[in-house]
Amino acid sequence: MLSYLVRRIVLLVFVLFGVSIITFTLMHVIPGDHARLVAIYRWGYDDFSSQELSVVRREIGADMPVWRQYAWWLGHVARGDLGYSFVTKRPVTAEILARVPATLELAVAGFLLTVLIAVPLGIACARRPSSWFDNLVMTGSLVGVAMPNFWLGLLLILIFSLTLNLLPVAGGGGPAHLILPAVTLGAGMAAVSTRIVRASLLEVLEQDYITMARIKGLGEGAVLWRHALRNALIPVVTVLGLQFNHLIGGTVIVENVFGRPGVGQLIVEAIESRDLPVLQGGVLFLAFCFALVNLLIDLSYAFLDPRIRYGGSDG
């Protein structure tokens, strides 16, 4: 277990290292002089002397060779210093932290909704495969998978806000503001997850030890809840982890649809205003969260299935 933990953390560090290189490289392939860009944002076009330019160059480390620039930049990132926004002149870290609550709220609500829909529906379908209920849910899930979340969000606004006047259209705020965004985010993920819960439970139910439990005379309920479900949970956790990729992408879109002031919206705004430090910081931040969650998911396997030993080379 310990060596597994160490290996996973090494991989995490490796992935973050790679991500930092990608982000750094991207920022340095932009045409033009980075320092000049900063100076333009600071003093306006051509409104700065060459002396001021060289001050900026030193300030952002652009006077060093590329590999030292990278090390310099990485050192600052490690201390939580992501530079300053071109637009608001505030520290990027502060800009991001100010946006985290809106995103976190949405992500947690969407994720909870996914689990609350997918697990019960998946179990119900697996108990009676090919029944009318199963067919209905599976058809619904096909629809849910194909539904673009940005369109679903607009449709929900059209129905519940503009036509029925039940819920607010956009913005942050109380729980009422969270309902439509959470449904928009959760629907697509629930559609995929239901399928996976169902399939993995069906697979477990076909195994010998389940047949054995039935022969032993256990009721269907006991077989399902005490024997099958625990083993079916491992692929489910994997998939919910994979869903995290969609979750992050989904929050970007949903925040945009509903005008929620979250991290995703911050990145989109940064692209529109060419605010590169904020873009870079936002990308790094989301990548870091993603890597961290992936690590937690991997670790949770060990608790779900004590048989997994992680001694092998490819665990």
Partner 1 sequence: MHETVTVFRTAFPLARLLQGIGRDRASFAGGVVVILLVLVALLAPWLAPHDPVKQNLAHALAPPGGEYPLGTDDMGRCLLSRVLYGTRISLAVGLLVGGLSAVAGTLIGLIAGYYGGFLDEVLMRLTDVLMGLPNLVFILAVVGVLGPGLGNTILALVALGWLHFARVVRGSVLSLKESEFVLAARALGFSGPRIMVRHILPNVLGPVVVLATFDIPHTILAVAGLSFLGLGVQPPTPEWGAMLNAARPYMRTYPLLMITPGLMIFLTVLAFNLVGNGLRDALDPRRSRILDGVGG
User: Which positions touch partner 1 (CB under 8 A)?
Assistant: 11, 14-16, 18-19, 22-23, 26-27, 29-30, 125, 129-130, 134-139, 141-143, 145-151, 154-155, 157-158, 162, 195, 198-199, 202-203, 244-245, 248-249, 252-253, 256, 267-268, 270-272, 276, 279-280, 283, 286-287, 290-291, 294
Place of tokens 């039935």: 214
Distance in Å, CB of 208 to partner 1, minimum: 17
| Cβ closest to partner 1, residue 137 vs residue 178 | 137
Q: Which tokens in the block code for residue 102? A: 């809106």
Q: Which tokens in the block code for residue 113? A: 């909704």
Distance in Å, CB of 146 to partner 1, minimum: 4
| Cβ closest to partner 1, residue 47 vs residue 155 | 155
16 phi, psi to nearest 5 deg: -65, -40
Q: Which tokens in the block code for residue 97? A: 């932290």
Distance in Å, CB of 200 to partner 1, minimum: 10
Q: Bridge-partner residues for 84, per DSSP?
A: 91
DSSP state of 171: S
CA distances from 129 to 82, 192, 195, 210, 234 (A): 52, 17, 12, 17, 21
| Cβ closest to partner 1, residue 39 vs residue 253 | 253
Distance in Å, CB of 110 to partner 1, minimum: 14
| Cβ closest to partner 1, residue 11 vs residue 222 | 11
Q: Bridge-partner residues for 91, per DSSP?
A: 84
Closest listed residue to residue 251, CA positions, set 268, 266, 264 = 264
Q: Which tokens in the block code for residue 232? A: 């079916």
Residues 6+ apart with CB under 8 A from 239: 192, 193, 196
| Cβ closest to partner 1, residue 55 vs residue 138 | 138
Distance in Å, CB of 51 to partner 1, minimum: 29
Distance in Å, CB of 50 to partner 1, minimum: 26
Residues 6+ apart with CB under 8 A from 257: 149, 150, 153, 154, 157, 181, 184
Cα–Cα distance, 271 to 269 (Å, whole number): 5
Distance in Å, CB of 122 to partner 1, minimum: 9
Contact assessment for residue 273 and residue 267, using Cβ atoms and an 8 Å cutoff: no
| Cβ closest to partner 1, residue 49 vs residue 245 | 245
| Cβ closest to partner 1, residue 10 vs residue 116 | 10
